[in-house]
């Protein structure tokens, strides 16, 4: 007699695989209290474990504070070293550019206490630093102690007097300079060092018309009349009276007054502000060719800038290509700005690449301007 189990035989489950990522099922049967078979589905897919990367500690970059002038002086003193003149020149230059009066006085007093025997160029640098930084009393003390002075020494003190509102002192120094230097002080030195400009400004402030006339007559006697004419053009440009500046230039041409490079650069600056499509600038250019000053670097740069402002790219390019000094960054910038202002993106890119080939680094702001004009990312590869 066969004995049959009272429990029903559980059904078998078959494993089926439909795809690579499908789940596999195995039959597992069990019985509950109610004798009803229960089935559990167990997935056999490969679990995905997330591999955690080790946390790297963040390294904070610490920047050392910049070394100040006081630190340099204290360090050299603590080491017992005598500071060479080159170091003093660098410190004086830094003070002059930053216009830091405290550092300027510190450098001045340190030089006075040192064993350095300053030369006249060093004293002039030191004097200019004190004037620029507003330490006029220290500058006056230094100037009075100087046994030897040249036109640069007088120029720094006269300019300092004018800037500090001591116009009467500026005129007194000018007269003292003439009596002390005599014929040794050439008119060209006076003009180059800006002494004449400061003295004339002092004459205006003091309403000293008589002295102004004397200076004018003195210049005419020495044959430097073009200096006065050029100064008038430059002053009109500063006051944005550009038509008046061109009128003075045309008077110079009619009167046959000798012109210099500053005359043409100032006149071309005024031409670039007029709205005559560059006609006046072309006339000034022709005049510069007649007198043989069109090859000067300052005049060339002014011509490129003037033609570029009017969008006369061919004329600007002609002057640009005729230059001999390929390293003059001012000419490159003028040519580049002319292309940018009038949307000549392709030409601007060519100028950038030519600058790179010439070993010059374009300014980042100019590169950004070209990027805006061209709308291209190719220029970014130039910095790579």
- The per-residue pLDDT for 189 is 57
Neighbours of 194 (CB within 10 A): 17
Q: Please report the DSSP string for 265-289 in residue order.
A: HHHHHHHTTSSSTTHHHHHHHHHHH
Closest-CA residue to 351 (of 328, 364, 333, 365)? 333
Low-confidence ranges of the chain (pLDDT < 70): 1-67, 181-194, 219-225, 375-384
Residue range 230-253, pLDDT digits in tens? 878 887 888 889 999 999 999 989
- The per-residue pLDDT for 108 is 92
Closest-CA residue to 235 (of 270, 193, 276, 188)? 270
- The per-residue pLDDT for 284 is 94
Domain residue extents for the chain: 68-146, 149-222
Give the integer Cα–Cα distance in Å for 337 and 321. 16
Neighbours of 98 (CB within 10 A): 13
Task: Write the burial class of residue 54 (CB in 10 Å: 0-12 exposed, 13-18 middle, 19+ buried).
Answer: exposed
Distances in whole angstroms, Cα of residue 307 to Cα of each of 80, 115, 225, 279? 59, 55, 29, 10
């Amino acid at each position: 007699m066969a004995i049959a189990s009272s429990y029903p035989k559980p059904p078998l489950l078959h494993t089926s695989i439909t795809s690579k990522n499908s789940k596999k099922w195995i039959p597992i049967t069990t019985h509950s209290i109610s004798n009803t078979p229960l089935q559990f589905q167990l997935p056999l897919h490969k679990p995905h474990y997330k591999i955690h990367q080790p946390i790297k500690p963040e390294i904070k970059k610490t920047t050392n504070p910049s070394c100040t002038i006081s630190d340099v002086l204290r360090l050299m003193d603590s080491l017992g070293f005598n500071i060479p003149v080159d170091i003093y020149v660098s410190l004086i230059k830094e003070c002059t550019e930053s216009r830091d009066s405290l550092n300027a006085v510190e450098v001045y007093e340190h030089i006075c206490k040192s064993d350095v025997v300053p030369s006249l160029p060093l004293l002039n640098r030191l004097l200019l630093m004190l004037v620029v930084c507003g330490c006029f009393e220290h500058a006056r003390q230094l100037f009075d102690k100087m046994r030897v002075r040249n036109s640069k020494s007088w120029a720094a003190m006269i300019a300092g007097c004018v800037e500090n509102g001591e116009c009467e002192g500026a005129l007194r120094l000018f007269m003292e300079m003439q009596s002390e230097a005599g014929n040794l002080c050439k008119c060209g030195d006076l003009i180059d060092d800006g002494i004449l400009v400061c003295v004339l400004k002092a004459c205006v402030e003091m309403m000293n018309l008589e002295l102004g006339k004397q200076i004018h007559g003195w210049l005419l006697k020495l044959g430097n009349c073009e200096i006065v004419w050029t100064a008038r053009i430059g002053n009109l440009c500063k006051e944005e009276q550009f038509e008046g500046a061109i009128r003075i230039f045309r008077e110079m041409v009619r009167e046959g007054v000798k012109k210099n490079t500053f005359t043409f650069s100032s006149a071309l600056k005024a031409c670039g502000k007029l709205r005559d499509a560059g006609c006046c600038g072309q006339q000034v250019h022709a005049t510069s060719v007649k007198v043989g000053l069109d090859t000067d670097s300052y005049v060339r740069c002014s011509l490129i800038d003037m033609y570029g402002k009017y969008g006369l790219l061919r004329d600007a390019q002609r002057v640009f290509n005729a230059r001999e000094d390929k390293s003059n960054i001012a000419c490159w910038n003028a040519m580049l700005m002319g292309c940018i202002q009038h949307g000549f993106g392709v030409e601007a890119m060519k100028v950038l690449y030519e600058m790179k080939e010439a070993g010059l680094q374009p300014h980042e702001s100019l590169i950004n301007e070209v990027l805006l004009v061209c709308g291209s990312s190719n220029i970014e590869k130039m910095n790579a």
